[in-house]
Structure 1
């Protein structure tokens, strides 16, 4: 491969995509422009000491673990809940998946809000919102209240998807992208797989309501921790406060930030309205977002097919108890965790090598080659899992297949996340919200047809079909980004 296409017109691409038509000079051109001082500024999140960077990263990570775990924790207890509330199969499936539907719409609102009001207040507000509605799920007197509460809880939980891109982009430089993503994802990746394990034991040994009460207790602790361990990371907001302080101290109103100049002639309502429609605009008019969203959405949907049907495989085909069936999710969790750590090292290593070969020029497209190993491993794991289940081979073979599937999908998704973050550094939360929309929709929709697919095709042909679609779709799409990403970014409308 050559690298001229990845760096060609890179500077123009960044200017066209990331800056509004208003041109902002440098500090040397305008002494009244308020910026972070170089080479080091203690207020610049990228210059913070490592302990503070890891603190905000770990707060998001732990919060993400709980919110993602709640998405799957009730899966083993669906039959029990359905019996208690007299729910048909569609209603019980909706009680589980409505949470994921809410996470499709939440980031479209929460991401832009964090770019207007800052990451910190949005994190605190979403934490409390999620806590209230998760508690409501535990006390739900009927199926209507349960389904509605699950939706509102999912809406609050979805903040982590928008905030993660924003905060990680705020505090970590591109050279640290792989490591920071790997550490951040380490705990949340456990959530989706650990949820059914915990839920399985609670379903057998206690009331299903403890699934929500216990996670609410954990969430209440995280609310308190976040108030003392999370600092504002959004650069425009930090600089705006600095400019306000300078204007107050000097009495000179000429001091301004680049963000203030861009929005100088807009009302507060106009700024908010423009921000709220940004994720929709990115998804509708930016091919980069469309391609990245489609790739990640497909693999995310497969993830939730596995998570939603894995327990049924063990209880119905292998005749294991609910408790034991939940333990097989350990294979899925290990695959994702190990995949994230392998990909973290692969991403950083490849990035440094490709950047050196591109004459030290940074380009988001340098993340693309890291996608391809996962695009091959994911379908391979699906084949092993599907045909081992069809012929009822030893359980370890099935678990190995699921392990490889999850490992491959994680290696695919991390570079895509990094690519979107670096392609839209000014609006990482909005870009993250745009990509999360399709991801959450597939997570909601794919499990709805998965039981029928396996019933008609069986696990072998069902997984073979999905795997082949993954190969046909998952390999060419990253090549489009690799060869044409810079040009597509250069032609894109401003993200402002």
Structure 2
């Protein structure tokens, strides 16, 4: 019988002998096409480390640009509002409509990647985002700008669904912390770097260059992704393998597990079922609901900080827009430090807890990693709020923000890892469901933040949200730890 070609990766590993067809099928069903055990060069989890990092880094750099675009125009809002005769609500909408779009995009893009594969959806979303981001730079009316921002955000949102799906495809649970830490290293800079770059551009050139410059970067990333990104979705790879076997052997009995599940179903029914999966997960799966609630709250706080931080320095400390943007470095450093500390802590705790569980893997092993961040984050908010309220030295405020963001990042990473491992076959759909609530809070929280600080001040305002964080962030992981397995067992199939 002929050897299997590497259909999904034509330029993949060439120095490894491919397994024969009989070795890639389960022994009890010789026609079921699977990956060979213990090693298959076509299996993304068996790829050489360099290839795994290549696809991870492509997503990381792409994520940086898409997240940076969400905040880069913040320092120029007053200039844009004056040019287009926008009121305060319209100018705020021009900024935040991008985040609203990222709530709905993953609900569609995640399932599509589980039907058609990660690679075509990534390329399509890259081009879509580029087109509409360029349109933002050429907008000649407020309606055009707001509409273009929405469509650009829809395309940018693909990264929230695709990234975690791809990371789940190529990295094993033992490598989850490190892979998440390296992936997040660059995108975490995006939200903070955006206002810094935007502040300098607002003073030195036209606001349109904010979109043109990020579009140039996006065009480069499209080229890189075409050259460096390979398909990672296992069912898509196996389907191509099965098609090749059927063609070479002339035997139509070869099939994959995914093809068996979808046998006798029309393409429309398969697609429709996939598209409603994130909504079903969010509506009927307590695991998704609990994880989404915690991460959405902290994500909303992040955007409260991002949207009000510049005003704090300009109004309370009488600093220029350019200098106020530099304080966002504290936000970026906090998130980066949190991701790297949490990455090591996650993997270390996972290995210890797995050993105590006699080597058995369970998604619930991720939950103990949530508690340190759930405690540290609110403490940082308290320091930030009261230091700002009493106008202490700027370094104390920045230290408070650093601690707050460090804690929030240490809370978010284990939650994301838990969702990935609780829904390994539909990670993109599960991530899309979680992102829906996160994006909604990122859109809504900044709308009430100015009034909250006006009414309560920075001290009591941050104390309030910090106490809510403690009330949510500490008990919820306990629910997952003690009842997560039971809740997962009772949940209906994610198919």
Q: TM-score, normalised by structure 2?
A: 0.95
Q: For residues 234 and 66 of structure 1, what CA distance do their matches in structure 2 show?
A: 24
Residue 387 of structure 1 corresponds to 386
> What residue ranges of structure 2 are gaps of 5+ in the alignment?
1-24
Shift of 1:224: 0.5
Residue 35 of structure 2 corresponds to 36
Shift of 1:83: 1.0
**Are 2:333 and 1:371 equivalent residues in the alignment?**
no
The superposition leaves residues 109-137 of structure 1 with CA deviations (integer Å, 9 ceiling, x where unpaired) of: 00000000000000000000000000000
Shift of 1:28: 1.9
Q: For residues 301 and 340 of structure 2, what CA distance do their matches in structure 1 show?
A: 21
Residue 205 of structure 1 corresponds to 204
**Are 2:338 and 1:344 equivalent residues in the alignment?**
no
> What residue ranges of structure 1 are gaps of 5+ in the alignment?
1-25
Residue 148 of structure 2 corresponds to 149
Look up the SS of the partner of 2:30 in the other structure: coil
Q: For residues 249 and 201 of structure 1, what CA distance do their matches in structure 2 show?
A: 60
Shift of 1:420: 0.3
Q: For residues 248 and 81 of structure 2, what CA distance do their matches in structure 1 show?
A: 64
Look up the SS of the partner of 2:39 in the other structure: coil
Look up the SS of the partner of 2:93 in the other structure: helix
The superposition leaves residues 161-198 of structure 1 with CA deviations (integer Å, 9 ceiling, x where unpaired) of: 00011100000000000000000000000000000000
Q: For residues 79 and 372 of structure 2, what CA distance do their matches in structure 1 show?
A: 41
Within 5 A, what are the aligned runs for 1:262-341? 262-341=261-340
Equivalent residues, number? 471
Shift of 1:232: 0.2
Within 5 A, what are the aligned runs for 1:94-173? 94-173=93-172
Shift of 1:265: 1.5
Q: For residues 408 and 209 of structure 1, what CA distance do their matches in structure 2 show?
A: 35
Look up the SS of the partner of 2:319 in the other structure: coil
Q: For residues 401 and 213 of structure 2, what CA distance do their matches in structure 1 show?
A: 28
Q: For residues 162 and 301 of structure 1, what CA distance do their matches in structure 2 show?
A: 18
Q: For residues 262 and 123 of structure 1, what CA distance do their matches in structure 2 show?
A: 25
Residue 361 of structure 1 corresponds to 360
Q: For residues 463 and 387 of structure 1, what CA distance do their matches in structure 2 show?
A: 8
Look up the SS of the partner of 1:427 in the other structure: helix
Residue 188 of structure 1 corresponds to 187
Deviating beyond 4 angstroms after TM superposition, the runs of 4 or more aligned structure 1 residues are: none
Give the number of the structure with larger relative contact order, counting CA–CA contacts within 8 Å between residues 6 or more apart.
Answer: 1
Q: RMSD value over aligned CA atoms? A: 0.6
Look up the SS of the partner of 2:486 in the other structure: helix
Q: For residues 412 and 214 of structure 2, what CA distance do their matches in structure 1 show?
A: 27
Q: For residues 390 and 90 of structure 2, what CA distance do their matches in structure 1 show?
A: 32
Residue 219 of structure 1 corresponds to 218
The superposition leaves residues 456-487 of structure 1 with CA deviations (integer Å, 9 ceiling, x where unpaired) of: 10000000000000001111011100000000
Q: TM-score, normalised by structure 1?
A: 0.95
The superposition leaves residues 10-32 of structure 1 with CA deviations (integer Å, 9 ceiling, x where unpaired) of: xxxxxxxxxxxxxxxx8121111
The superposition leaves residues 414-433 of structure 1 with CA deviations (integer Å, 9 ceiling, x where unpaired) of: 00000000000000000000
